Amino acid sequence: MMRKSILSGLIATALLATGFTSSVAAHQAGDIIVRAGAVMVSPNESSPIIAEISEFSVSDNTQVGLNFGYMLTDNWAIELLAATPFSHDISLEGVGKIAETKHLPPTLVAQYYFGNAQSKLRPYVGVGVNFTNFFDNEITNPTALELNSLSMSNSWGLAAQAGLDYQVNDKWLVNASVWYADISTDVNFNAGDTPYPQVTVDIDPWVYMVSVGYKF
C-alpha cells in the first residue's frame, strides 16, 4: 500500500512538472500573452470593371504574425495583431499581373474568453478596429494599358475575430484563430498621361493564423 502511495505521488509530481494536469492555470487577470506564428491574408476583393476588362484581383500572402494580449479579467482581454509586411500582386483577367503593393494591417480587438481560468482549452471571440497602411505601390507592367503613377489610400474599418487557445503548461500554449477585416482603399493611377477615374477597391480579407504563445 505504501509503495502504491509513493508511486502515485511520484506520478502526480511528474504530471505537475510537465504541465499535463487539469489544474494548470490558463488565462487569468493580469496575464500578458505573446503569440508568434504564420498568418495568411486572403483577400475577398471587389471593384468596378477596369477598362472594360475585369475587376482587380488581389493575391493571397503569408507572413510572420505576432499578437500581444492582455487579460483585463479572467474572461475579458484586449489584443493587438501585428505582422511583417504583406505583399500582394494586383492583376486583371486576360492581362495578368499589372501591379503590386505592400501593407501593414495592425488590428486591435476586445475579446471574450469562454470557460474559466482553470480551463486548458479557451475559445474566444473578439471585435475591434483595423488600420491598414498601403505602401510601395508599384505598376509592374507599364505596357498594359499604359498604366503608371499608382497610389492607394490607407483604410480604417471594423474587424471580427474567433480563436482557440490550448494551454500546454503554465507558460506555453498553441493557438488557431481567424479574422475578418473591413478594408477598403481608393486607388488612383494614370492611363498614359490621363488620370483614370478613382477606383474604390473593397479587399475585405479573411486572415488565418496558427501560432505558439507564451504567457507572462
What is the full DSSP assignment across 128-164?
EEEEEEEEEEEES-TTSTTEEEEEE--EEEEEEEEEE
In this prediction, residue 142 carries a pLDDT of: 79
pTM exceeding 0.85:
no
Q: How does residue 12 score in pLDDT terms, banded at 50, 70 and 90?
A: very low
Q: Is domain 29-215 classified as CATH 2.40.160.20?
A: yes
* Burial class of residue 183 in the structure, from the number of CB atoms within 10 Å of its CB (0-12 exposed, 13-18 middle, 19+ buried): buried
Of 2-11, 110-119, 166-175, 203-212, least confident by mean pLDDT is 2-11
Averaged pLDDT of the chain: 88
In this prediction, residue 156 carries a pLDDT of: 97
Most confident of 7-11, 115-119, 128-132: 128-132
Which residues touch 165 (CB under 8 Å, ≥6 apart)?
26, 27, 33, 113, 121, 122, 123, 124, 173, 174, 175, 213
In this prediction, residue 26 carries a pLDDT of: 72
Phi-psi region of 67 (alpha: psi -120 to 50; beta: other; left: phi over 0): beta
The string of pLDDT tens digits covering residues 159-200 is 999 999 999 998 999 999 999 999 999 999 998 889 999 999
In this prediction, residue 23 carries a pLDDT of: 52
Beta strand extents in the chain (DSSP E only):
32-42, 56-58, 61-71, 76-83, 86-92, 96-104, 107-113, 121-139, 147-152, 155-167, 172-181, 184-191, 194-195, 199-202, 206-215
| Sign of the CA dihedral running 12, 17, 22, 23 | positive
The three grid cell numbers given for residue 195, joined into one nine-digit string: 488620370
User: Does position 11 have pLDDT exceeding 70, yes or no?
Assistant: no
Q: How does residue 121 score in pLDDT terms, banded at 50, 70 and 90?
A: very high
Which residues touch 42 (CB under 8 Å, ≥6 apart)?
60, 205, 206, 207, 208
Grid-cell match 493587438, residue found: 80
Phi-psi region of 118 (alpha: psi -120 to 50; beta: other; left: phi over 0): alpha
When pLDDT is averaged across residues 65-80 and rounded to a whole number, the result is: 97
Domain boundaries, the chain: 29-215
The string of pLDDT tens digits covering residues 15-72 is 443 344 445 567 899 999 999 999 999 999 998 888 778 888 999 999 999 999 999 9
Which residues touch 9 (CB under 8 Å, ≥6 apart)?
none
